[in-house]
Amino acid sequence: MLKLNAPRDATVYVTGVAVGPSNQPIEVRCGRYFVRLGEPTPKGTRWLAEGRTVIIKCGALTEASF
Q: What is the mean pLDDT of residues 54-66?
A: 95
- Cβ neighbours for 56, distance < 8 A, ≥ 6 positions apart: 2, 28, 29, 30, 31, 32, 33, 62
When the pLDDT of each residue in the chain is averaged and rounded to a whole number, the result is: 95
Q: Is the pTM of this model over 0.85?
A: yes
